[in-house]
Chain A
Amino acid sequence: MFSLGLTGLLVRRDLIFVLMSLEVMLNAAGLAFVVAGSRWQQADGQIVFLFILAMAAAEVSVGLALVLQLYHQFKSLDVDAMSEMRG
């Protein structure tokens, strides 16, 4: 699932899909924590998942706000078009 997200991040050019791939990767990491927690009979895994969930929510809100701003600026959601920081 992490690899799937990473591939999506690298291949997709649409900003929304890039964000979604990011979410997929986060969830992959969270799933790994939960699985590891149940394997070793520890509650830590689930606690960390809650943290990841909260962080993901915050990240998405910031990310979407940025997406709105970027759309305003470039009139497109293509990440490759936003290469103004080219050296």
Chain B
Amino acid sequence: MAWLWLIVMLPLMSALVLAVLGTHFSRRVVAAVGVGSIGLSSVITMLAAIEFVSAPPVGRAYTQVLWTWINVGSFQPHIGFYLDPLSLVMILVVTFVGFWIHLYSAEFMMHDEGYSRFFAYMNLFVASMLTLLLADNLVVLYLGWEGVGLCSYLLIGFWYRDPMNGLAARKAFIVTRVGDTAMLLGLFLLFTSLGTMQIQDLMRRATEDWTVGSTLAVTAALLLLGGAVGKSAQLPLQVWLPDAMAGPTPTSALIHAATMVTAGVYLVARTHALFELAPAAQFVVAVTGAATLILAGCSALTQHDIKRALAYSTVSQIGYMFLALGVGAWSAAIFHFVTHAFFKALLFLGAGVIIEALRDEHNIFRMGGLSKQLPVAFWTFLIAGCSLAGLPFLTAGVYSKDLIIWSAWAAAQGHPAFWIAGVIGALLTSLYTFRLIFRVFFGPIQTPVTKRPGYVMTVPLVILAFFATIGGWVKEPLILLLQSTLPMTIETEAAGMTETFSEVVVALVFLSGLYLAYLFHLEKRELAEGALRNPVARMIHAWWFADWGFDWLYDRVLVQPILWVAQVNKNDFIDAVYTGIARLTEAMYRSLRLTQTGLVRWYAAGIAAGSVVFLAMVVFP
């Protein structure tokens, strides 16, 4: 456990080394440093996990304080790490999935320029994420929070020669900034009213000082939720994630699927005591999750860029996690995070293989028949897809999703409406997943395969596929492990609903989604095209395709007015005062310059006249 700091330090050091010296190294060395640091970090994490489980520390949490960061009056945040079951599970997944993604990108990025820059960013990202997860106070957590935001910006705009990528990067940064500002305000509020930043003390004092549903608690929880919503791309700040697909595919896998976007989920779970004090805020969490999972699911149905479809699916799946948090099924949310990290990383890596094999073809309607051409990608993608859609019994995804959907009804804050939202989401998930699979891997070949992945790329696929399958079996031990940190889901007597029935419904929904996707996208493709000729259907399609018009709305309501104001106020009106002072000085200088004739006699005359005037003043007062 004393090695805890190394988990964060290794990727950070490697990022520094690669950033400073990376250009002098050969690609092989860069890959070894970049991948090796995460690998080591992952091994240490596993050792820590084994130690944690076999010999749990006192209080089932381990704190390591490195040094005092800032010392101002009563505000004394430490650089300190806090390991408890929640952060343990998170860092295990982040380092493990992160390692395989790094390994994959060692080959994927081989022919891109900026190889060392890429690995420096990726390592820095993992280091920031681990800081965020291990932070024992909210200031360090915020440091990691902003760190991942920065790395996300850097990686989305990695191929910076295309201005569109830069725009997408800026959009991601600015949109998440909206949420971060809310979160920062929340931190200020918590500090001024409770006087500490240590997360555990904070939660304890909050439960002691505040009553359930008090205004302060609700405000603080809502402000923190604002940050979580921004980072996790939930309604109404989900607009940045689909555009973030401009970055390299391993980035999408690492940041926009497996790890960073779940920071919001982690934040809410970490501060769950606060949310329990604020039932109204918790209800907002649940509603946000439920709304997001349906809206994003619909949008995923209409995308033809394979990565954008997966991005919307990520948004939708995180919606599930928020729904689980909102109804008080904390461990279900973390469980879904674990399974989601495996299968979504796998889906993105598979998509990366496909895109590279087809020479940067992103459009699924120009793919087809790849199941024979890219067998490894096909099988792993199929496994991950089944896991995402929730193939009963076999895959990991179904266990976590069943648990969430069941909790949506049965948990204390649950409601049948949330259950219905979850089931509709499951139908959409199954539909869009198999739409992707049928379009990409079946049917006639449309674009020839030009490049096949090497072992460095296929091995991570297989490993992750393995975990996407067996991940569901850790359900019981995981929930048991999390029990000491996260309260158990309080189940109430759900009228007319049993867990088995809920699972059967989800399974049926999965099958119907599969069948519908089969019908529209494989068996009778003309049906899908026929439906699009219907003007109403086409309108809805366009609406969903444009993410329910959120981008359009924000463009009109926020971006255009701000641009207009900037245009009008190009010569900043406050600046005019200062420009005026400068102008006045300049005018005075010009007039005074006229007296500087350079003629000595004029100067002498001036002196004489001045003397006369002063003498006159002295003599005739």
Q: Are B601 and A6 in contact (CB under 8 A)?
A: no
- Residue contact A83 to B598, C-beta cutoff 8 Å: yes
Q: Is the CB of B600 within 8 A of A6?
A: no
For A79, give its contact among B594, B596, B600 (CB under 8 Å).
B600
Return the CB mask of B1-45 against A: 1 if under 8 Å, else 0: 000000000000000000000000000000000000000000000
Q: Is the CB of B605 within 8 A of A83?
A: no
Chain A residues contacting B600 (CB-CB under 8 Å) are: 18, 79, 82
Quick check: B604 and A10 within 8 Å, CB to CB? yes
A86 to B605, CA, bound (A): 16
Complex alpha-carbon distance, A6 and B594, angstroms: 24
Nearest CB in chain B: distance from A37 CB, A: 22
Among candidates B598, B601, B604, B608, residue contacting A86 with C-beta atoms closer than 8 Å: B598
Query: Distance (Å) between the CB of B602 and the closest chain A CB?
Result: 9
Q: Hey, which chain A residues are within 8 Å of B553, CB to CB?
A: none
Q: In the complex the two chains form, is B598's CB within 8 Å of A87's CB? A: yes
Residue ID in chain A nearest B596 by CB atoms:
A87
- Tell me the smallest distance from the CB of B489 to a CB of chain A, in Å: 85
Whether B601 pairs with A9 at a CB distance below 8 angstroms is: yes
A85 nearest CB neighbor, chain B only: B598
Q: Which chain A positions have C-beta within 8 A of B593?
A: 87
B599 touches A80 (CB 8 A): yes
Cα of A85 to Cα of B594 in the assembled complex, Å:
12
Distance from A17 Cβ to chain B, minimum over Cβ atoms (Å): 11
CB distance from B151 to the nearest CB of A (A): 57
| B603 → A minimal CB distance (Å) | 10
> When chains A and B are docked, how far (Å) is the Cα of A85 from the Cα of B597?
7
Shortest A72–chain B CB gap in Å is 18
Distance in angstroms from A27 CB to nearest chain B CB is 17
Interface contact B601-A83, CB-CB below 8 Å: no
**Would B599 and A84 count as touching, CB distance under 8 A?**
no
For A6, what are the chain B residues with a Cβ–Cβ distance below 8 Å? 608
Inside 8 A of B594's CB, which chain A residues have their CB?
A: 87
Interface size class of B (residues with CB under 8 A): 10 to 19
Interface residues in B567-621 by Cβ distance below 8 A to A read 593-601, 604-605, 608
> In the complex, what residues of A have CB within 8 A of residue B601's CB?
9-10, 13, 18, 79-80
Residue of A at shortest CB range from B592? A87
Q: How far, in Å, is B138 (CB) from chain A's closest CB?
A: 62
A residues near B604, Cβ cutoff 8 Å: 9-10
Enumerate chain B residues within 8 angstroms of A83, measured Cβ to Cβ.
597-599
Flag A1-13 by CB within 8 Å of B: 1 or 0 each: 0000010011001
Residues of chain B within 8 A (CB-CB) of A87 are: 593-598
Closest A residue to B595 by beta carbon equals A87
Interface hits, A4-34 → B, CB 8 Å:
6, 9-10, 13, 18
Closest B residue to A80 by beta carbon equals B599
Q: Report A-chain residues with C-beta under 8 Å of the C-beta of B597.
A: 83, 86-87
* Binary interface encoding of chain B residues 237-248 relative to chain A, with 1 for a CB under 8 A from any of its CBs, else 0: 000000000000
Interchain CA distance A63-B73 in the complex, whole Å:
69
B456-515: which residues lie under 8 A (CB-CB) from chain A?
A: none
Name the residue of chain A whose CB is nearest to the CB of B605: A10
The distance in angstroms between the C-alpha atoms of A22 and B382, with both chains bound, is 107
With A and B bound together, what is the CA distance between A23 and B597 in angstroms? 25
Nearest chain B CB to A25 CB, angstrom units: 10
Specify the chain B residue showing the minimal Cβ separation from A9.
B604
Contacts of A80 in B (CB 8 A): 599, 601
Q: A residues within 8 A CB of B598?
A: 82-87
User: How distant is the Cα of A74 from the Cα of B601 in the complex, in angstroms?
Assistant: 17
Residue of B nearest to A6 (CB): B608
Q: Which residues of A in the span 33-82 have a Cβ within 8 Å of any Cβ on B?
A: 79-80, 82
**What's the Cα separation between A80 and B598 when bound, in Å?**
8
- Contact with B608, one of A10, A79, A82, A84 (Cβ below 8 angstroms): A10
CB proximity of A75 to chain B, nearest CB, Å: 18
Measured in the bound complex, the distance between the Cα atoms of B597 and A6 in whole Å is: 20
Among A6, A13, A84, chain B packs the most CB atoms within 10 A around the CB of A6
Q: Complex: how many Å from CA A35 to CA B118?
A: 94
**B608 (CB) vs chain A CBs: closest residue:** A6
Chain B residues within an 8 Å CB radius of A13: 601
Q: Which residues does chain B contribute within 8 Å of A79, judged by CB atoms?
A: 599-601
- A residues less than 8 Å from B599 (CB atoms): 79-80, 83
Complex Cα gap A85–B593 (Å): 11
Q: Are A85 and B608 in contact (CB under 8 A)?
A: no
CA distance A67 to B594 in the complex (A): 27
Query: Which residue of B has the minimal Cβ distance to A11?
Result: B601
A86 to B600 alpha-carbon distance, docked (Å): 10
Chain A residues near B596 (CB-CB < 8 A): 85-87
Interface string of B334-353 (1 = CB under 8 A from A): 00000000000000000000
Q: Bound state CA distance, A23 and B503, in angstroms?
A: 118
The minimal Cβ–Cβ distance linking A71 to chain B, given in whole angstroms, is 15
Give Cα distance in the complex from A82 to B601, angstroms. Answer: 11
Q: Which residue of A lies closest to B604 (CB)?
A: A9
Interface residues, chain B, with chain A CB atoms under 8 Å away: 593-601, 604-605, 608
- Which residues of A are interface residues toward B (Cβ below 8 A)? 6, 9-10, 13, 18, 79-80, 82-87
Name 11 extra pairs, CB < 8 A, besides A10-B604, A79-B600, A87-B596: A10-B605, A10-B608, A13-B601, A18-B601, A79-B599, A82-B600, A83-B598, A86-B596, A86-B598, A87-B597, A87-B598
16 residue pairs from A and B, CB less than 8 Å apart: A9-B604, A10-B601, A10-B604, A10-B608, A18-B601, A79-B599, A79-B600, A82-B598, A83-B598, A84-B598, A86-B596, A87-B593, A87-B594, A87-B596, A87-B597, A87-B598
